[in-house]
Structure 1
Amino acid sequence: MTRLQNRIATILLIALLSPASGLADDSGIRLTDDRGKTLRLSAPATRPAAISTFGADVALALGTAPVAITDYGIQGIPEYLGPRLSDVPNLGPRHQPNLEILSAVRPDLIIGIRRYTKKDGDQIEAIAPLLALDLITLQDSLRAVALAGKALGKPEKAGALNSRFQNHVQALANRNTDNRTQTVALLTSGSETPFIYHDHFLPTALLERLGFDNAGGAPPNPDSGIPLGYRISLEALLQLDPDIIILLPTNRQRAFTLNPVWPYLKAVRNEAVYEVPHYWKEGAGPIARERILDDIQRLLLTPSAEEPRP
């Protein structure tokens, strides 16, 4: 073999082993998302885009600003993440993101909700690697934060966020001894029939961990995570008669609160009905889930339960 042939062979070998070829994965980052698909990154992502509020939440929590984010519909960019997102391009709704804007911002990672990115997955992945996540349960949240931390090159910080959160949950559970028999219903919808959430949805799972009994009950398909809950008539809700009702935000007047049955509910009679912010709907991010805990503590825990016992 001539010197020129040797040189060409060397160049070809280097090209084959380069990160771009996908054959040198051991030198980069490899992770498996909730589709079961393996992502390979040659280096930690520095320009993540979010087809989910979670993506922006976890990126900010880990100290990396997102380059684009989907919104809450007419509510726009989520308020709780504050001015840090004021100049970030808006991709529109998470179920139909603007792929032209997404391509224009040149992300090196896209963090999305699996059920909302499934339809356009191929087009999205043509722009950048897609980390598709379930983001329904408490375990989904812990896993997603760990995966995002690995993708962004900050696994230790992600682990610390998860540990701090779990410690916070346990501390509140240990203090909440006064509300162990109280039932709670998490409702949404602007229609005449509310939607009530099952136990596995992250906010209801947190309520259960803190000692409350979720009136929505266990999911019929715990392995799939879907459905999140079910429609319930006011008459059926009256049969459950929860001590506390928590209302997720809606763009319309809640028609079910005009039902003649509504005033007879125990929670309504006792003024134990609370409206919570939008981050309860998509609360898997490190910032959102801490805020949910703070809301539960402020709204539902007695003063004696809020403070550590001597």
Structure 2
Amino acid sequence: MTVPQNVERVAAISTFAADILVALGVPPVAASTFADQPLPLYLGDRVSGATSLGPRAKTNLELLTAVQPDLIVAIRRYTEPYERQYERLAPYLAFNVISYRDSLRAVRQVSRALGLEQEGERLNREFVAEVERLGQAAPGGVRAALLVSSSETPFAYYDNFLPAYLLNRLNGVNVVGSAPREAGQSLGYRISLEELLVLDPDVLFVFPSIQQQAYRNNPIWPYLKAVRTGRVYEVGQHWKEGAGPIARRYILKEMAHLLYPETFPAPAMPELIRSHSLETL
């Protein structure tokens, strides 16, 4: 695929793509919706002029055509079925962004496509250094799990998922661990509350959902250590798609604080995406 020189109009079909573009100083002309927001508001005024394209998995192609992009940046798993349609509109860059390495690779490739390779390398270099610095300062010894879903059985993330990787780099322990060989590149699995009680993490990071998490009504839930000690945190939507330079730094710094509040201060970040304790709801 050939990307034209002097790209100015870039469409972001995913929050991570909009995040990268904003970080590189090339605000998107159009972007996917973000949860119940028409645009990812945590990116501030830099996306306020973008056209909202609808959910990342159901992009409004009519609106996308109307903005006449020079380049489309997307998440592959949501857009691959419509790849030919996107390619007819503009050069199309799509990424799988699950892991830490995926994040670094996507930033590198998008910045290269935009002729901003040095800026992309700087963003990656600074993030790698910050992960190392906070990891060296983190006391360790905290066991945690990352849960998503509104059903009666939550989905727990393996170590290959970016926030879980950062948990490990902060000397925490993801009680779910790495994916078994037979699971391949799976993100995680459905974990019963009985199994979660056996693992009994100190901290639970709960991803938001439109409906209340049904598993919290399970009679086992109050017996979990994280629930008894008030260390269950509902995180911001950006944790679900945190591969962009802005989101990944928020996740790293806030996770460090929530794991080790006596070591790391609460980071400066938009209030609308700050994690909160579920026990206070």
TM superposition score normalised by structure 1: 0.82
- Computed over aligned residues only, the root mean square deviation of the Cα atoms, in angstroms, reads 1.7
- State the partner residue of 1:192: 152
Maintained 8 Å contact 1:176/1:306: no
Q: Does 1:257 align with 2:225?
A: no
Alpha-carbon distance between aligned partners in 1 of 2:7 and 2:197, rounded to the nearest angstrom: 50
Maintained 8 Å contact 2:150/2:211: yes
Larger radius of gyration: 1
Cα deviation, 1:34-58, whole Å, max 9, x if unaligned, reads: xxxxx21231422110111111111
Alpha-carbon distance between aligned partners in 1 of 2:182 and 2:22, rounded to the nearest angstrom: 31
| CA apart distance, 1:141 | 0.2
- State the partner residue of 1:109: 71
Maintained 8 Å contact 2:33/2:56: yes
Alpha-carbon distance between aligned partners in 2 of 1:302 and 1:100, rounded to the nearest angstrom: 47
Q: Residue 59 of structure 1: which of 13, 21, 25 is its match? A: 21
**Which stretches of structure 1, 4 residues or longer, exceed 2 Å deviation after superposition?**
72-76, 220-225, 302-307
SS at match of 1:236: helix
Which sits farther off after the overlay, 77-86 or 187-196?
77-86
Maintained 8 Å contact 2:10/2:73: yes
- Number of equivalent positions: 266
- State the partner residue of 1:271: 230
Maintained 8 Å contact 1:73/1:92: no
Maintained 8 Å contact 2:29/2:49: no
Amino acid at match of 1:87: G
Cα deviation, 1:124-179, whole Å, max 9, x if unaligned, reads: 110001101001100000000000100111000000000000111011001012xx
Alpha-carbon distance between aligned partners in 2 of 1:79 and 1:224, rounded to the nearest angstrom: 34
- State the partner residue of 1:118: 80
Amino acid at match of 2:255: I
In the TM superposition, what are the counterparts of 1:127-276 in structure 2 within 5 Å?
A: 127-177=89-139, 180-220=140-180, 225=185, 227-276=186-235
Q: Does 1:82 align with 2:44?
A: yes
SS at match of 1:119: helix
- State the partner residue of 2:247: 288
Which sits farther off after the overlay, 276-285 or 215-224?
215-224
Maintained 8 Å contact 1:172/1:306: no
- Using a 3 Å threshold, how does the CA distance of structure 1 residues 248 and 222 change in structure 2: closer, same or farther? farther
Amino acid at match of 2:179: P
Amino acid at match of 1:147: Q
Amino acid at match of 2:197: L
- State the partner residue of 2:273: none
| CA apart distance, 1:272 | 1.0
Percent sequence identity is 48
- State the partner residue of 1:300: 259
- State the partner residue of 2:274: none
Amino acid at match of 1:186: L
Alpha-carbon distance between aligned partners in 1 of 2:216 and 2:83, rounded to the nearest angstrom: 39
- State the partner residue of 1:93: 55
Alpha-carbon distance between aligned partners in 1 of 2:70 and 2:121, rounded to the nearest angstrom: 22
Amino acid at match of 1:162: N
- Using a 3 Å threshold, how does the CA distance of structure 1 residues 306 and 85 change in structure 2: closer, same or farther? closer
Amino acid at match of 1:259: N
Maintained 8 Å contact 2:257/2:263: no
Alpha-carbon distance between aligned partners in 2 of 1:99 and 1:221, rounded to the nearest angstrom: 39
TM superposition score normalised by structure 2: 0.91
Alpha-carbon distance between aligned partners in 1 of 2:263 and 2:78, rounded to the nearest angstrom: 42
Which sits farther off after the overlay, 298-307 or 282-291?
298-307
Alpha-carbon distance between aligned partners in 1 of 2:181 and 2:54, rounded to the nearest angstrom: 31
| CA apart distance, 1:75 | 3.3
Alpha-carbon distance between aligned partners in 2 of 1:42 and 1:192, rounded to the nearest angstrom: 49
Amino acid at match of 2:153: T
